[in-house]
């Protein structure tokens, strides 16, 4: 009999991930702050949990996909939280991008209730979530990872066990440095090309064939060509990740000068009211600085 999976957090990423678990045949119990996505996934065959506590009581494996560290702490350890409904042996898999230190804190609290935890943040954006092609970076006990691997395989293609709890999070923060800096470099390059009078689509085709080619370029090309930046991953969320990165870097004594500049660019976008754009929308600020109209 398939394990019952609880899933809390049905946002841009969580909703398609939950759908892929249903497609793989797993019984699913869902909960989210917004009722619309819950009803949508319920129509696809999931049961509805009334609270994190209720979801935990019905689950063998419980996944969260939430915005930030305080959200995970509240859902896991707060009133009517997972810790209040968990049965001994429950596996808790947090797939959010949060502070690895918070992951370790939550894991220690849940271990006292005989709940095992993995941190398993993902990369690949909305498209990767929809296609079941996410990169999943996992920290925690290897035996627990092995038990959950078939569930991960319903949502992702590159699934890597990296070490103890928290190591998934540190790897995701490294990933987010590369993505943010890459998108900023793409924005600068395309702004230069636009001001020079180059055709954007042809420019992107040329760049993709050389050393400047990247997954970011390939996946965000439709945004750049259409010059519309509807969110696959919001600037607001990446700015949150940049804050986690700088916090961790300071704690570890790691200077990140390029990342610090990019963080301020993302901050400026939010000040301009553009935090809801896709993170490739950093180009809009660079175009403003270059005096280009959109």
The DSSP line for 124-158 is SHHHHHHHT-EEEEEES-HHHHHHHHHHHHTTEEE
Among left, alpha and beta (phi > 0; psi -120 to 50; other), residue 137 is: beta
- Domain final residue pick, 112, 135, 164: 164
**Residue 294 forms part of a structural domain:** no
Residue 220 catalytic? no
* CB 153, CB 159: distance < 8 Å: yes
**b/e for 142-175, b at 16 or more Cβ within 10 A?**
eebbebbeebbebbbeebbbbeebbbbbbbbbeb
Range of the domain at 31: 5-164
Task: Report phi then psi at 196, rounded to 5.
Answer: -80, -10
Catalytic residue among 47, 105, 116, 172: 172
- What was the pLDDT predicted at 1? 62
- What was the pLDDT predicted at 201? 98
Which residue numbers in the chain have pLDDT < 70?
A: 1, 294
> Sign of the C-alpha dihedral, residues 69, 75, 76, 80?
positive
Question: Which CATH number characterizes residue 268's domain?
Answer: 1.10.1040.10
pTM for the structure as a whole: 0.92
Same domain? 14 vs 156? yes
- Domain final residue pick, 164, 197, 217: 164
Same domain? 140 vs 196? no
Same domain? 152 vs 45? yes
- Domain final residue pick, 164, 195, 228: 164
* CB 157, CB 146: distance < 8 Å: no
Residues 6+ apart with CB under 8 A from 228: none
Instruction: Tell me if residue 118 falls in helix, strand or coil.
Output: strand
End-to-end, the C-alpha distance of the chain in Å comes to: 55
- What was the pLDDT predicted at 79? 97
pLDDT tens across 210-226, in order?
999 999 999 999 999 99
Same domain? 175 vs 150? no
pLDDT tens across 36-45, in order?
999 999 999 9
Task: Return the number of other C-beta atoms located less than 10 Å from residue 217's C-beta.
Answer: 20
């Amino acid at each position: 009999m398939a394990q019952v999976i609880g899933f809390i957090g049905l946002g841009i990423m969580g909703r398609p991930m939950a759908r892929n678990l249903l497609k793989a045949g797993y019984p699913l119990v869902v909960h989210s702050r917004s009722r619309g996505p819950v009803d949508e996934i319920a129509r696809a065959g999931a049961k509805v949990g009334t609270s994190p506590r209720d979801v935990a009581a019905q689950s063998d494996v419980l996944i969260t996909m939430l915005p930030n560290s305080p959200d995970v702490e509240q859902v896991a350890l707060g009133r009517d939280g997972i810790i209040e409904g968990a049965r001994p042996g429950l596996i808790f898999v947090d797939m959010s991008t949060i502070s690895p230190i918070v992951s370790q804190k939550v894991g220690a609290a849940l271990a006292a209730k005989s709940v095992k935890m993995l941190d398993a943040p993902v990369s690949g954006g909305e498209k990767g979530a929809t296609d079941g092609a996410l990169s999943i970076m996992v920290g925690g006990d290897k035996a627990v990872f092995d038990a959950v691997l078939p569930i991960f395989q319903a949502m992702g293609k590159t699934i890597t066990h990296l070490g103890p709890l928290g190591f998934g999070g540190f790897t995701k923060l490294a990933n987010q440095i590369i993505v943010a800096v890459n998108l900023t470099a793409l924005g600068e390059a395309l702004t230069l090309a636009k001001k020079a009078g180059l055709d954007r689509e042809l420019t992107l085709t040329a760049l993709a064939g050389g050393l400047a080619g990247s997954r970011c370029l390939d996946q965000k090309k439709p945004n750049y060509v259409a010059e519309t930046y509807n969110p696959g991953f919001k600037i607001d969320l990446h700015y949150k990740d940049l804050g986690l990165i700088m916090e961790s870097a300071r704690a570890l004594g790691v200077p990140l000068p390029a990342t610090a500049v990019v963080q301020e660019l993302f901050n400026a976008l939010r000040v301009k009211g553009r935090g809801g754009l896709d993170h490739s929308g950093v180009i809009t600020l660079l175009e403003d600085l270059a005096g280009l109209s959109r």
